[in-house]
Amino acid sequence: MYAPERQQRILELAQERGRVEVPSLAEDFGVTQETVRRDLSALERAGLLRRVHGGALPAGSLHLEPGLAERDSTAAADKERIAKAALALLPHEGSLLLDAGTTVSRLAAQLPLDSTLTVVTNALPVAARLAEHPQLNLHLVGGRLRHRTQAAVDAWALRDLADLDADMAVIATNGFSPEAGLSTPDLAEAAVKRAMVASSRQVVLVADSTKYGARYFARFATLNQVDVVVTDTGLTEEQAAEIAALGPEVIRA
């Protein structure tokens, strides 16, 4: 296969999968990883791909924020397993901050009906899933509603979170990596996530592996501020080791 044919196929795979990885592409095409990196660089120079750690994303994916329905349908099976693994980490009693995110919402749906936790959330989908738990002490963070994520943000939300000292926060992200930390496209939402990290004694990040290496405009935490990263087996052992070297425990569900 000539380089232009291979690059066209790489571009098609990136569009289909949302991300391509250098090792898997090298194996698929029977070429060296260095050849794949040259292909990715050529596609990036043409404005067709965005290079990230270990691979590439379709052009524009670092800047566009998908809606709830699109995000919830992406890596759905992986998110279910991540949510189940994160559920086992939750305290049996005490206080919990739940961030806005489709994986966090799946975690809320799995919380037992007899849970007696005190839960604070800024996310309407999370609150809706917990509203019928009779023994749960549920608190809603106020603020301006971001319709794209159905999360409360801005000054009111930050004031609500400022005086809290929670046992654990479960945080979602649009992108994460050792170099770039945790990031999201919106500054207001990043500020709320940052406040949740600061207001909890333990931080659990739930993020499927398609988000690894992605970078967005607003960084709200570094990986050394995270205690546990719960992801899926799409994250390689080498990538997991890079994260663990910064401090967090890594669980690949």
pLDDT in the model for residue 66: 53
Q: Is the fold of 3-58 the same as that of 68-252?
A: no
pLDDT in the model for residue 160: 93
8 Å CB contact between 207 and 173: yes
Contacts of 72 (CB under 8 A, 6+ apart): 79, 102, 105
Overall pTM > 0.75: no
Q: Could you tell me the two tokens for 115?
A: 């849970």
pLDDT in the model for residue 48: 79
pLDDT in tens, the chain (253 residues): 788 888 888 988 887 787 899 999 999 999 999 999 999 988 888 777 888 888 888 775 544 455 555 455 557 889 999 999 999 999 999 999 999 999 999 999 999 999 999 999 999 999 999 998 999 999 999 999 998 899 999 999 999 999 999 999 999 999 999 999 999 988 889 999 999 999 999 999 999 999 999 888 789 999 999 999 999 999 999 999 999 999 999 999 9
What CATH code would you report for 68-252?
Answer: 3.40.50.1360
Q: Where are the domains of the chain?
A: 3-58, 68-252
Q: What are phi and psi of 166, to 5 degrees?
A: -85, 155
What CATH code would you report for 3-58?
Answer: 1.10.10.10
Contacts of 7 (CB under 8 A, 6+ apart): 39, 42, 43
Q: What is the CA radius of gyration of the chain?
A: 19
The amino acid present at 27, given as its one-letter code, is: E
pLDDT in the model for residue 70: 47
pLDDT in the model for residue 68: 53
Q: Could you tell me the two tokens for 18?
A: 């949302």
pLDDT in the model for residue 62: 46
pLDDT in the model for residue 63: 45
Contacts of 192 (CB under 8 A, 6+ apart): 99, 100, 122, 141, 143, 151, 152, 153, 157, 158, 161
Q: How far is 195 from 142, CA to CA, in rounded Å?
A: 14
H/E element holding 72? helix 68-73
pLDDT in the model for residue 233: 95
pLDDT in the model for residue 18: 78
